[in-house]
Amino acid sequence: MSQIEKLINKMKDRPNGIRPEEAQRVLNAFGYRLDRQKGPHMHFINDDGDVVTIPERTPLKAVYVKDILIRISKQ
């Protein structure tokens, strides 16, 4: 099992315990890149123009983690 798969399983099992760095690794693996950062919010964009915004706070709230899981499951 790859590290990205382990992170995705961790996100599914414990959505409240994810660090922003872990979410960024998953997003990068699915084609998202850091577009800009304004204050504590990081904006990721993919080639289709889909934008994901996550705050740089540890741990991330579950709502942000679930949003990431929904977006990567569509790809």
pTM above 0.85, yes or no: yes
Q: Which CATH homologous superfamily contains domain 3-73?
A: Hypothetical protein. (3.30.920.30)
Residue spans of the domains in the chain: they are: 3-73
Using the predicted structure, report yes or no on whether residue 1 has a pLDDT greater than 70.
no
- Reply yes or no on whether the pLDDT at 64 is more than 90: yes
* Residue 23 contacts residue 68 (beta carbons within 8 Å): yes
Give one DSSP letter per residue of 13-65, joined into a string: H-GGG--HHHHHHHHHHTT-EEEEEETTEEEEE-TT--EEEEES-SSPPHHHH
Tell me what pLDDT residue 74 has.
78
Write the pLDDT tens digit of every residue in 20-61. Answer: 999 999 999 999 999 999 899 999 999 999 999 999 998 999
